[in-house]
Amino acid sequence: MPEQTPQRPLIKERRLVEDAWVLQSDVDDEGANPVKPMTIVRLDVWLAAERRDDLAPWLPSDTQLDEDTVAALRDAPLIAIDFPKFTDGRGYSLARVLRERHGFKGEIRAVGDVLIDQLSYMARCGFDAFSLREDQVVEDALASLTVFSRHYQVSVDNPEPMFLRRQREARERQRETAVA
């Protein structure tokens, strides 16, 4: 019988939310489809499923995104990217590639060994949902998403570089003073 991981705190759109999805951590050897709807399953199980509207794919950190996989992922209700260890940064690249190169607009969720000090960086790479490790404090996690008010580098969450933002803001201030 496939094992289901216990509910973990879920931050989505910078607030704590109730998780409607269940992460299925294992599937029997035959790769049988899960019985329950609203289940996040391994990518191979999701790709083999006849109906995917109530399933979501769980990508391991070493996933190679070929054309067929990317085409299938466009229809996913959400994509969960696994962080097997907090030191494994390949999930950051997966999220960024899905957002920037392939234009995925849906939810990208970080699952696995997700720690508070990573959330700001994950958000900048394209994650918009975070399934926290059980020992993480939700209030601290929410606060960590607002620690930095400005970033110099471009990212998925702010593609405009700092120098362009400063130029735009200076022009806006000049217009305001000219009107006054």
pLDDT digits (tens, 9 = 90+) for 122-132: 998 999 999 99
Instruction: Determine the Cα–Cα distance for residues 42 and 44; give it in Å rounded to an integer.
Output: 6
The pTM assigned to this predicted structure is: 0.79
Lowest mean pLDDT among 36-45, 109-118, 152-161, 163-172: 152-161
Specify the fold of 10-148: pyruvate-formate lyase- activating enzyme (3.80.30)
What's the chain's length in residues? 180
The burial of 51, by beta-carbon neighbours within 10 Å (0-12 exposed, 13-18 middle, 19 or more buried), is given as exposed
49: left (phi over 0), alpha (psi -120 to 50) or beta: beta
Which pLDDT tens digit goes with each residue over 34-46?
A: 457 789 999 999 9
**Sheet strands side by side (includes 22-23):** 15-17, 10-12, 129-131, 107-112, 78-83, 55-59, 39-42, 22-23
